Structure 1
């Protein structure tokens, strides 16, 4: 104040306070400014939905300005942990706080519909004789709720788009479970032939028979050429005279123990070759015929020829030839191919033949 010649009357007669200052004082620039720091803090708010309507909230304010600075505009450090129950029309919460300078405090809050009222320190204020702070607040909260689309069966397809709203079903089938039109045990979404009965291993489609020979393609080794079931769908090859001769060339060298039907072990290799030939013609049938020389009684020779023919048949069956394709017959000494008067002739007459049954 540079002007000291001012009376109370001058002040009372002024039109207003502003006029008084302009008329009696001169504004001068002091040449100095004032520096202040803005209140700066880190604010963290985390809200965790524990289960359905139960939550817990963490709220903090941590000042980044040192309170020892002369220019500081300081925020008190605060940490609050608030468990709460929250439903559409009702809420209750209980904040626990630690505030710098004020210390620990407990509050409570309540919401009923749009109205809420609460305090951050009401419980502390009631229970403590050394409370340094108290507060209360009230308000109106208007929430705009969005109607959630209903999904009665919980299959992820909302009811308005769900063709089977009461039954679980995949999205790709419009909320309906996959059916099985043909009843073959393969659901339609995996059935490549949903209108035809077929096995699971063929993706619900019936097995084809391309060449129409009665052997399904999965079992047909010649699916484009009609064949026989016995030959796994392949055409049968006719048995030539050369094949028939080869069979009997092998059969003639089958050896037996003297006067018995046991096959000698050295004949097994020959018999295995016969097995290979017979299995090459799976639909053909063969007669295994036993023959003897004339030494000994007629009855003995007849029985021996039958037993030897049966021994050969048994070996062939045991090694993979279908028994239904074979029959054993003994002719004894009735069909000689050489004279029995001499040893070489008798050796030729003691034989086994394998002949095609036409």
Structure 2
């Protein structure tokens, strides 16, 4: 399998530490990955934290497999300013963006099997002129499918897809449409078949209101927006159920009845997943021509550089990216 491309993330955050610890954990077993990062800063970070991680700059991603057992392979993306843990610097925003761009190019060219992104600090990027809400939208634009991206959070206990994502709750309710639900479900069902190996995926669609509207007593959106989407999807042969009352659809018994929960807004999806399995949660972008995963946490500036960062979620993201990439090559 081709090496995975691991991006830098914000150099003031925990991404570098996680990359180093991920190599220590996976050097013998894989999946093989190559970091698109500044090798000088990674070597210094390893030394400062007492991590035994040899860092080796390479000129081509294809060399990663030969290097991986003995050293962390790095395709150099130099920083403009020294990275100081916990203190994001917009001077390094170009390097952060370049790391994402180069990783995406490798995946599109087939040189990398997938892209795994370390956490970024959106505020620092916005100050430098970054014009996207986040990773997901940027990757959709880079891969030529803007507007088709769907965010899934996946763990061994639960998969969730929010139909509306990084907008306020007020705006998410106002912008929700039947067409958005249908599009999210189509993309999700196709991804579960192709990438997750689920031949007949079962999609549970959450209601928007308490008790899924209580037959209109607590809101009409289930009847006017959600139910028409369910009928359209069923007519297309997609196995959907709902609208489910959001307060009961995440119990252990309920979760056995579906493969993914389609949720109406960000927190409706992410609160149950992070409560059930924060450490193993992985952000997967559906609808792209490449595989992309990410750990389900942020930059954690408060613990950056202190040796405290837990690589479990990044390891889960790397391992899932490897599994999804392998299925695409079958």
TM over 0.5: no
More helix by share: 2
Indicate the TM-score class for this superposition, using the shorter chain for normalisation.
under 0.3
More strand by share: 1
TM-score by length of 1: 0.16
Look at both structures and tell me which one has the larger radius of gyration over its CA atoms.
Answer: 1
Q: Which has the higher contact order (CA 8 A, sep 6+)?
A: 2
TM-score by length of 2: 0.18
